[in-house]
Amino acid sequence: MKASLSGNLATMLPGVPYAIAAKFAYDDRVAVAMVGDGAMQMGGMAEMLTAAKYYRDWRDPRLVVLVLNNRDLNQVTWEQRVLAGDPKFEASQSIPHVRFDEFARLIGLEGIRVERSADIDSAVRAAFAADRPVILDALTDPEEPPLPPHITVKQARNFASAILQDPSGGLAGAVEAVREKVDEFVPGR
């Protein structure tokens, strides 16, 4: 299995183009991309037009693009919280909501929307069974902290400071984040 990651400096754009490049290099294999809604809006939607143009020429027409749709430039939001202790800045972080599943159907591809975690399994199965590229539009919670397994004390302090300063989350958000981090250490979860 081959994989590619552009993870430096919160790179937003290359997920969908990387997957399409993989399809051209290995057109007999399924290709998968996982991107945020900001990256999909920034260029992924335009690149899906490339997939719509060429998928009939691929030996295996499957290309699955999972979009984590939370109306937020989430990686940057959480980096600012953890690295600088800044609360979310709505003016630069909130982005318009797009129905990526509907967009996929509009351009002749398959679109699947996931609104509840109970639907994930059937949605993924349908995506991999499709006879064409698929956009899997998964609604996600922008307030779910993507904390790595190990953070420094300074990062934890910055994170707590940012959460407590945020008028939408405040103390309740901080308590929830701590609860989720503790749950990671509970066996069987």
What are the pLDDT digits (tens) for 137-180? 999 987 776 666 677 788 777 777 777 777 666 556 656 666 66
Helix (H, G, I), strand (E, B) or coil at 157: helix
HEC string of 141-153? Answer: CCCCCCCCCCCCH
Look at residues 64, 80, 65 and name the one whose alpha carbon lies nearest to residue 145.
80
In a domain, 133, yes or no: yes
Domain count, the chain: 1
Q: What is the pLDDT of residue 183?
A: 64
Domain contains 188: no
Kindly report the CATH number assigned to the domain that includes residue 34: 3.40.50.970
Q: Residue 156's pLDDT is what?
A: 76
Give 110's strand partners. Answer: 134
What distance in Å separates the CA atoms of residue 131 and residue 116, rounded to the nearest whole number?
24
DSSP 95-136: -----HHHHHHHTTSEEEEE-SGGGHHHHHHHHHH-SS-EEE
Burial code of 15-51, b = ≥16 C-beta within 10 A, e = fewer? bbbbbbebbeeeeeebbbbbbbbbbbbbbbbebbebb
Low-confidence residues of the chain: pLDDT under 50: none
Residue 3 inside a domain? The answer is: no
Does 12 reside within a domain?
A: yes
Predicted TM-score of the model (pTM): 0.76
Quick one: pLDDT at residue 169?
A: 60
- Note whether residue 67 is domain-resident: yes
Look at residue 2 and tell me if it is in a domain.
Answer: no
70: how many CB neighbours lie within 10 A of its CB?
Answer: 21
Name the strands in the sheet holding 63-69, side by side, starting at the edge strand that comes first in the sequence: 31-36, 63-69, 134-139, 110-114
By residue range, what is the domain housing residue 176?
A: 8-183
